[in-house]
Homo-oligomer: A and B are copies of this chain.
């Protein structure tokens, strides 16, 4: 059997309480005693049973996820993952809740963060908007000793404790690289559809994409970025116009969440010879991939992100270290052939 606190207490000739104090690094133990206990711990090769510890603590950790509202399928997927995790979270003594705010709305986001602070939650995960109000709100959370993790879109320099999401520059590079290879020698310019340059992930993806495209053997024109605000109608008309005005268009990179409008415009125009690369695997993009309208989908696994955010916030709340390498979210490439069978999965 694995050694327990009792074994340590016996071996060190102290009581359980003292062992616990040493284990949890609490004050009120003479350094000699502490040393004796630590020796016993080392000698026995003790490892704490976290489950039992949590049970005894019976502390709950209320965490709040702040997500953009609206019909952005990726965000709704994230929300679903939070709710799903909520079912299992009981065992982890975590209570999850979701707050939604208008997309790209810095003031609303800041307000939601303040509300969470007021509720004295033990952690906040939020899809950041790049604005000073938001940074200020995060700073207030920090002051209230509430850990904050940015989700999907980062806000470095805001003092957030952790970023949960993919390397968006690398994501853009990946898109550019695939686009270049898939197009090969085929001529024609490429269009880019973004949501808004006010979220950092979109800007970073663009940056990576341009870098990769310009590194390709064949030079290729990139049209000015179309900002569709992740809005289906606006995205639709921007792409429709582009298709009409640029007959020799070779490809489209959709780096935001305007896929519904994009796909509608493509369907209307009936152009299937384009190389199309989009982000986020949703019901729509999956169908488009299967039908051949889209050539590749770059994805960040919402389930992984949610679980990572929970682990990180809990660790921060407990003052435990985070294994950054372990919490890295990777970028998935999907083509028609490696689509996972189910609409959802978890590992």
Contact = CB atoms under 8 A, between A and B. Distances in A.
B51 A337 contact: no
A302 to B, nearest CB: 11
Interface string A267-310: 00000000000000000000000000000001001001001100
A47 B304 CA distance: 24
A293 B2 CA distance: 48
Nearest to A334: B333
A338 B55 contact: no
A119 interface: no
Q: Chain copies in the assembly?
A: 2
Interface string A137-161: 0000000000000000000000000
Contacts of A54: 51
Given A50-B91, A325-B344, A174 B337 contact: yes
A314 interface: no
Nearest to A172: B337
A329 B170 CA distance: 24
Chain A, interface residues (CB within 8 Å), range: 35 or more
Interface in A324-347: 325-326, 328-338, 340-342, 344-347
B337 A90 contact: no
Which 10 pairs of residues, A with B, have the shortest CB-CB distance? A184-B184, A51-B51, A174-B337, A304-B347, A325-B342, A333-B333, A173-B337, A174-B338, A331-B338, A330-B340
27 contacts: A2-B90, A47-B90, A49-B55, A50-B91, A51-B54, A51-B91, A170-B338, A173-B337, A174-B338, A176-B337, A177-B335, A184-B184, A184-B185, A298-B338, A301-B347, A308-B347, A325-B342, A325-B345, A326-B345, A326-B346, A328-B340, A328-B341, A330-B332, A330-B338, A332-B332, A333-B334, A333-B338
Given A177-B336, A212-B337, A301-B347, 16 more contacts: A51-B51, A51-B91, A52-B55, A55-B55, A170-B337, A177-B337, A304-B347, A308-B347, A325-B341, A325-B344, A328-B340, A328-B342, A332-B332, A333-B335, A333-B338, A347-B347
